[in-house]
């Protein structure tokens, strides 16, 4: 028998003029690291790092479920709404969580769409963070698929989404963690993966903002798995090259969900990324 | 190449979870390897025939076109990046998927795992 050190609580904040009940988990003490999950998934993607004593000895890892995801409910009236995530709503949500939890310039670590929004925040709101770890993140990825496939009445969007994203998981991933990773997609609410993909595959506003990121004040480190078909190493390198001073590491045996699919393979890269972030939050914003 | 798909046809019979996943899948799929046509006819999750082409008379629902070396790489226990998934083959320019893609996506886990059955020989698990 064992009880993990992760604790989960709920935070109510105002987003888009309405109150939202946000589920978040945390573990550890020290520098705050706010962790963002990928499209179609939730906080559980960070479970391994939150249970990693070497990581949590000096870091307070916090992850939250975006509205509509995991244990965060959709907004009141969702039954008549079409969920389509936007850059603006995503930024507002992350900043509201930072404020709501009273986080003082945390490191922001995001994967996939979470990495995309981390780079948006690096460009638009760097004063709220001390550094950025952008995992499987790129400037823009148009869809080669039809996002409407994943929300239709005659098929299970979660099962189709899981089957699609399985293409992004490395064959080096332990089988149990591969399926734990896919399970989150299978559980995703109807239309949620589609709504996330709408943001990820249609909003290219980051491209023109990359050059304004000041890595002298807030470092940016990108991590990308060689088995990621969605954000390839070429995509991440192109993105890093457009950010003066950004660094990038290619993870040869990992895919698009490294912290979830292959925790042992990912941890040295994540520890290295943390080591690149400032030890103490800069005084002046 | 057709013998590899005859092997897959036989191995599928020993995969009860795949037969369950594919229980609503009754379609013909074209596999084309460097011009060699192979028609896999599924009936309720079973491959009931593996037929060599060419055929202009056999309707198919979707097709995977690739080359022999790419397929052999796909069937490695740990394929190189891009060779690890049928959509990866398309992404790296070593494969093409045509036809009713939505039908494929609705049955994607089933079809990908059927295609990957030949990987079991690499791991000695077949």
Residue A191 DSSP one-character state? T
Which residues of chain B make contact with A160, given a CB cutoff of 8 A? 105-106, 108
**CATH among 3.40.50.1820, 3.20.20.190, 3.20.20.70, 3.90.1150.10 for A7-276:** 3.40.50.1820
**With an 8 Å Cβ cutoff, are A164 and B106 in contact?**
no
Cα nearest neighbour of B101 on chain A? A145
Tens-of-pLDDT digits for all 126 residues of chain B? 999 999 999 999 999 999 999 999 999 999 999 999 999 999 999 999 999 999 888 999 999 999 999 999 999 999 999 999 999 999 999 999 999 999 999 999 999 999 999 996 544 444
Contacts of A153 (CB under 8 A, 6+ apart): none
Torsion on CA atoms A115, A118, A119, A124, rounded to nearest 10 = 160
User: What is the token pair recorded at B92?
Assistant: 């790296």
CB of A226 within 8 Å of a chain B CB? The answer is yes
CB of A166 within 8 Å of a chain B CB? The answer is yes
Q: Is A43 left (phi over 0), alpha (psi -120 to 50) or beta?
A: alpha
For A173-205, the pLDDT digits (tens) are 999 999 999 999 999 999 999 999 999 999 999
Residue A171 is nearest to which of B79, B87, B108, comparing CB atoms?
Answer: B79
CB of B105 within 8 Å of a chain A CB? The answer is yes
User: What is the token pair recorded at A29?
Assistant: 């003490």
Q: What is the number of CB-based contacts under 8 A between chain A and chain B?
A: 41
Nearest CA to B25 out of A151, A229, A171, A163 is that of A163
CB of A38 within 8 Å of a chain B CB? The answer is no
Q: In whole angstroms, what is the distance from residue A21 CA to residue A39 CA?
A: 19
Tens-of-pLDDT digits for all 285 residues of chain A? 999 999 999 999 999 999 999 999 999 999 999 999 999 999 999 999 999 999 999 999 999 999 999 999 999 999 999 999 999 999 999 999 999 999 999 999 999 999 999 999 999 999 999 999 999 999 998 888 899 999 999 999 999 999 999 999 999 999 999 999 999 999 999 999 999 999 999 999 999 999 999 999 999 999 999 999 999 999 999 999 999 999 999 999 999 999 999 999 999 999 999 999 987 644 444
Chain centre distance of CA B85: 11
**With an 8 Å Cβ cutoff, are A229 and B91 in contact?**
yes
Contacts of B72 (CB under 8 A, 6+ apart): none
CB of A282 within 8 Å of a chain B CB? The answer is no
For A86-120, the pLDDT digits (tens) are 999 999 999 999 999 999 999 999 999 999 999 99
Query: Could you tell me the residue ranges of all domains in chain B?
Result: 2-117
Which numeric CATH code is attached to B2-117? 3.30.1050.10
CB of B87 within 8 Å of a chain A CB? The answer is yes
Does B54 sit behind a cis peptide bond, omega within 30 degrees of 0 on the bond before it?
yes
**With an 8 Å Cβ cutoff, are B108 and A160 in contact?**
yes
Which residues of chain B make contact with A163, given a CB cutoff of 8 A? 105, 108-109, 112
């Amino acid at each position: 028998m064992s009880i993990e050190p992760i604790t989960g609580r709920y935070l109510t904040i105002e987003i888009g003029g309405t109150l939202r009940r946000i589920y978040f988990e945390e573990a550890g003490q020290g520098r705050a690291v706010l962790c963002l999950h990928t499209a179609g998934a939730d906080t559980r993607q960070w479970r391994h790092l939150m249970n990693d004593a070497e990581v949590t000895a000096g870091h307070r890892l916090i992850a939250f479920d975006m509205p509509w995801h995991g244990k965060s409910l959709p907004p009141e009236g969702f039954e008549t709404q079409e969920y389509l995530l936007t850059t603006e709503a995503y930024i507002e949500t992350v900043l509201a969580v930072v404020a709501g939890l009273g986080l003082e310039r945390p490191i922001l670590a995001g994967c996939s769409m979470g990495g995309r929004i981390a780079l948006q925040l690096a460009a638009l709101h760097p004063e709220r963070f001390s550094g950025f770890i952008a995992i499987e993140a790129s400037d823009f990825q148009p869809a080669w698929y039809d996002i409407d496939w994943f929300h239709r009445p005659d098929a299970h969007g979660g099962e189709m989404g899981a089957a699609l994203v399985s293409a992004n998981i490395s064959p080096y991933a332990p089988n149990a963690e591969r399926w734990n990773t896919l399970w989150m997609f299978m559980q995703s609410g109807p239309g949620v993966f589609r709504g996330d993909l709408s943001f990820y595959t249609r909003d290219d506003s980051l491209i023109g903002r990359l050059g304004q990121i000041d890595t002298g004040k807030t470092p940016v480190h990108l991590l990308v798995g060689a088995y990621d078909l969605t954000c390839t190493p070429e995509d991440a390198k192109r993105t890093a090259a457009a950010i003066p001073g950004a660094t990038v590491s290619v993870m040869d045996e990992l895919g698009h969900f490294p912290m979830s699919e292959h925790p042992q393979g990912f941890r040295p890269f994540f520890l290295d990324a943390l080591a690149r972030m400032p030890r103490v939050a800069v005084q002046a914003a | 190449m057709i013998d590899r798909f005859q092997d897959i046809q036989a191995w599928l019979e020993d995969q009860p979870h795949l037969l369950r996943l594919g229980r609503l899948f009754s379609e013909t799929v074209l596999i084309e390897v460097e011009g060699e046509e192979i028609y896999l006819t599924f009936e309720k999750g079973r491959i009931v025939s593996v037929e060599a082409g060419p055929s202009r008379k056999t309707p198919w629902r979707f097709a995977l076109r690739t080359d022999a070396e790419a397929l052999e790489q796909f069937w490695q226990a740990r394929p190189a990046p891009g060779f690890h998934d049928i959509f990866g083959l398309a992404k790296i320019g070593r494969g093409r998927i045509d036809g009713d893609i939505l039908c494929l996506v609705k049955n994607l886990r089933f079809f990908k795992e059927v295609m990957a059955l030949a990987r079991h020989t690499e791991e000695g698990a077949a």
